[in-house]
Amino acid sequence: MSDAATAAQPRIEQSYPSPFMQWLTVGILFILYIRSLADRYLIALLVEPIKADTGLGDFEISLLQGAAFAVLYCICAIPVGLLLDRYSRRWVLFGCVAIWSLGAAGCGLVATFAGLAVMRSMVGAGEAGFSTGAYSIVGDSFPPQRVSFAMSIFVMGGVMGAGIVFLLGGPLVEAVLNGAVAHWPGMSLFAPWQQAFIATGLPGVLMAFLVFLFREPPRRHAPASQGGNGYGAALRFMRAHWKIYTAILLGFGLAYTSTIALQLWLPAFFTRVHGWSPKEIGFALGVAQILGAATLPLHGWIVDTLYKRGRHDAHLVWCIFTAALAIPCGIATLLVPSPVLAAVMFGFYMAFILSTASMGPASVQVVTPQALRGRASAVYVLVTGLIGMAIGPALVGWLTDSVFGDPMKLGLSLMVLITVMLAVVIALFALGRAQMRHLMQASENAA
């Protein structure tokens, strides 16, 4: 680093929020991320009751889990990206949390495929804005050499949310299905699976007010020519550096596909293949995901350490390594005869593949000019959400119903998905390494 850059470093550090405010911000966003994933994944524990009550098949359930959620998740990311670059990000986040919570509760007020699809879309709309806004706020709260660790802590909340919904949601679902809340006012009008959505969704509206407990970080303004008024500037920058953005958008999107498919379909797999109850499934998969999520700060620390030592493509290099280790763990999850061992292998899979959960948004922040980060984050959410949520779960349902023609072949469908998707992911990350090094070196020299 040059002498000028070294002298400028203290001034750059001083322009960021205080350490207390930085970590208060991450902490609140962490809690809300747990909440968002809990509302997103509760449906995975209710697959069999919903099918029994509505007569839906695996493919239709897969559309509710993935495509119905992903439609507005992706569409709303674009206008929200503009709002985040122009207006108070805290108010945008407040609206997003309230919207997805109402959508989650609304899933309990309907009993048809169309009604559930509308409510799941509403959940997706709110969560899209939250993810985009949170990435932007975390990216502006920390300097580049510390973003990966902070982003890892934040994303850990999301992954823990998935683990918590299994760990706590399993016993909750079992209790609700056995009539635990049927005596609550008005609950007797709804089926037990509907009661679960209502009881867990409505409290989220109150949690939206947490966003006003932290101060919004100052925006990192770049020259006006970089900002622009719409998405044109962001798209032009991404097109000019297409290799790194292809690696980020498609690579992390496909990694997300394999992970989300496992998370959403493993409860049904354990029910069909191992005969476990929701309570048993929730405990085993919840613990596996929470322990896997605990590795996220380690991923962030490793990447930040490599970056400080001059490895400017550290984000992609580390994810190549971890994705290669995740493939055999994912396959073993679906092949071992013991359900306990399967849950252990799933925990190892999550521990490795979750490197991509935080390195994706962190990569967007570090390679994108600061004035374009809100819009670049929105494009990231749109593309990775569309790939991960719409394609992954639906592809598993389609393979099981239409290709293998047997619900008991669900594990084979998941193995095909994991192997193919992660092999492509590794190739895409390799493609983007050189351009990431060039961009980061140029950014460091400019500082």
Two tokens at 91?
């108010």
Which pLDDT does position 225 carry in this prediction? Answer: 40
For the chain, what is the largest distance between any 2 Cα atoms, rounded to a whole number of angstroms? 71
Q: What is the pLDDT of residue 228?
A: 52
CATH code for the domain in which residue 402 is found = 1.20.1250.20
Rounded average pLDDT per 10-residue block, the chain, 447 residues: 43 67 88 84 84 84 82 77 80 91 91 90 86 81 78 76 75 81 84 87 89 81 48 87 93 91 89 88 86 85 87 91 96 95 94 88 84 80 79 85 89 94 96 88 66
Q: Do residues 202 and 101 make contact, with C-beta atoms less than 8 angstroms apart? A: yes
Tell me if 204 is assigned to some domain. Answer: yes
Tokens representing 425 are: 């992911």
Expressed as residue numbers, the domain containing 388 is 18-211+231-446
Residue 224 covered by a domain: no
How many domains are contained in the chain?
1
pLDDT of 2 reads 43
> Measured in Å, how far apart are the chain's first and last C-alpha atoms?
9
Task: Report the SS3 class of residue 87.
Answer: coil
- The residues, ordered by sequence, that sit 6+ positions from 339 with a Cβ below 8 Å of its Cβ are 270, 273, 274, 276, 280, 284
pLDDT at 38: 80
Question: Cβ-count burial of 349 within 10 angstroms (0-12 exposed, 13-18 middle, 19+ buried)?
Answer: buried
| Structural domain includes residue 11 | no
Identify the pLDDT of residue 446: 60
217 found inside a domain: no
Exposure string of 156-182, with b = 16+ CB inside 10 Å and e = fewer, is bbbbbbbbbbbbebbbbbbebbeebbe
Considering the domain boundaries, does residue 332 fall inside one? yes
The answer to the question of residue 10 being in a domain is: no
pLDDT of residue 429: 96
Residue 405 lies in a domain: yes
pLDDT of 327 reads: 96
Spatial separation of the C-alpha atoms in residues 226 and 222, rounded to whole Å: 6
Question: Residue 222 region, left (φ>0) first, then alpha (ψ -120 to 50), else beta?
Answer: beta
Residue 220 lies in a domain: no
- The pLDDT, as a whole number, for residue 3 is 44
